[in-house]
Chains A and B, each alone.
Chain A
Amino acid sequence: MKSTRNWLLIIAIIAIVAILGYNYIYQDHRNIEKEAPTFTMEAQDLVSEFSSDPTAAETKYLNNTIAVSGIVTESSTQSITLNDKIFCQLSQPAETTLVQGQSITIKGRVIGYDDLLEELKLDQCNPINN
């Protein structure tokens, strides 16, 4: 009687370890859309921070979720550019493009500073309605 109970206990432990292990190995990706932004700021402030010291700014913002408000200078179904210098790649293709010159707030993840074009790049971006 006691040995069956022990066996059941061992099997239960193995099952729990297996489930935990599986969930660890096949965990979900970060969901930037649902994350609260670490930084919320104006596009022009962000741009000036990157133009004065790209390396320090990159270290500060890299891999963080930010919400940035600016003016649309370029828009396609795949991406939105704010203030000429912040390139936001959308998480899903948009159905419509935005009018240039309109103000918008975008939330996304900073993936780094592009030296070639002197642009900041964000991925998994979503416009925020406010």
Chain B
Amino acid sequence: MVIDISQFHDVFFEESFEGLDIMQSELLELKPGAADPDSINIIFRAVHSLKGGAGTFGFTAISELTGILESMLNDMRNGQKDITAEAVELLLESVGLLRGMLTAIKHKAPADDVLRADIQNRLTLMMAAETDDVLESDNLNDDSSAATQAVGGWEIYFKPHPHLFQTGNDPVRMLRELATLGEFSSEVLDEKLPPFSDLEPEDSYLAWQLTLKGDIPKEEVLEIFEWVDEDCDFTIQALAVEVSEPVEESMLDEPEVTELTSEAELPEQTVSNDEAVADAPLPELSLQTVDTVADGTNGKTAPTASSSIRLGPDKVNSLMDLVGELVITQSMLSQLADNFSPEMLPDLIDGLAQLERNTRDMQEGISGIRMLPIHTAFNHFPTLIKDLADKTGKKVELRLTGEQTEVDKSIMDKIGAPLALLVRNALDHGLETPNVRLASGKSETGSLEVKAFHQGGNLIIEVHDDGAGLDEQKIFSKAVEKGLLSANVELSVDKIHKLIFLPGFSTDDVLADESEHGMDVVRNNIESLNGVIDVQSTKGEGTTFTICVPLPFAIIDGQTVSVANEKYILPLVSIIETLEINETDIKHVTGKGELYTLRDKYIPIIRLYDVFNLKPVISDLADGLVVVVEARGQQIGLFIDDLLGQQQVVIKRLEDNYRKVQGLSGATVLGDGSVTLILDVAGLLALYRDPSLAMHNERAA
């Protein structure tokens, strides 16, 4: 039976990422010198599982690396190896590496072999430094190859010990198995069989003299007995080869005899292949060490180079179109399937042909380009934070969420540095020292959260710390000092905060050792991606930087809604619930419109046909539905006619060929080729508050 194990890969990736998360958080907690044995155990188990899975699913590079990590952790667990800060650091780096490797495999992208070689070398060196016997035990192959010599067959004596049945083994099955290997004959030796009255039915009394003829490798025979080698008397002897050849002559002179009653000999023989495989990486690795050291420093600079893709914008665009087409074909096919009848067969055949074409185009076009999970950018944050925390004596808990959020490579390249800077700043300047925190009634450990997610067609990244907040006065006076504004200007606190993004603004207080990369550089990078960066800060409570970057394309789960004979798509993630309400549930507030009380909170009711200036079909609240949606923390009730189906859609930007339209995040092409617009909840709210946003530009004179 052939089973395609790639079908289990997704589960493997999922559990592996979970395992790595666990390892990372345990490692960050680990106190060098005084490690909690439970923690080490948890880490060990995670590595162990990863190794097992990687081996099973054929990801050899990962099983190789985890093999080294496993033995290192095993030594730590047994107290044979000290848990040094350096070791923890290296383990953390390995976690990052493993995450990168898994991601690369998952996305069928090339792996960063240089980084892997580097980390493996360092691991091996660290292991070798303390355990001298690492490089031993590699000559096991010789024995087994000797055992594979062709022979005429085997003469076997097999006498199970009385308790054999209690191991769950059954001699009859083993003999049957043996018989499948070659020409088999057996003689039962029943001299040990007691009188019937003394017979213990659960015990084994018989012995066998077995002959197995044929050119059968010895391992195959031994494998059948490998589980019982301690529960039986067993000897195996080579039979004379029937057609003798010079080479085999020598074997005839000294028939090979293996006694299996002695301890551990059988395992060693039968298992030697496995061991040879398991041990092989170590000697190999030490060779690699020599290689990389020999060719100098490029070993460390290469990773960044090898991880970049060069692609012309045309190529990228055409690939994106292909993806779009594929999704359209798919949804066309599922629409067909929904109400299929025989006369639609030609459509189905066309659709399938189209799918085939799309898939082939994709396959051809896709090589090289890819979306990456953002964690590649997050990867080194734990290490960075740990370093900085150690240096500054601050305590911090780093939380990374949405690491699997997929981001276009072009965004990834530009967002890594600004993000790292924000994270650095949060720790350097945002968070206070433990003493200060305690004094101001906060917990000793600060919290730093980096959160990535998709919203509409945008990538949002938030960097939040619960530190001291921005110092308005300092920022203001610095801005004045730099001549960026005059001292008598009155600015709101919010506006003052935003001064830090001005070109040329970088105070030593805001940016310590990174003064050459100011916030303006961060902003420039974000803006070059057509994105925006914003800051929200409350004195004493903390600071949140929010980066919002439009994705070149994004696939979202959409809910189709109908209003005034039009259809729109709402991103499913923004929907909280759907309500049926009556006019009587509504409070009319002058200047604020209609408000609805939802669990003690007033939410504005926005009639979609109103903000879009459509001729309503349903205007009585009782006849339609209110969908409670959320954007940037604000909930609104969107009044629509009805909910229709849900489906995945590719967001395409309206501004690519037209312009941005207030209240819409883009449009998508449905299976039948028609276009449906996608609602932007935040934009709708803004439109509701300021209807003048709907005004289109006056025609140029």
Q: Do A and B bind each other?
A: no
Show the binding face of B for A, using Cβ within 8 Å: none
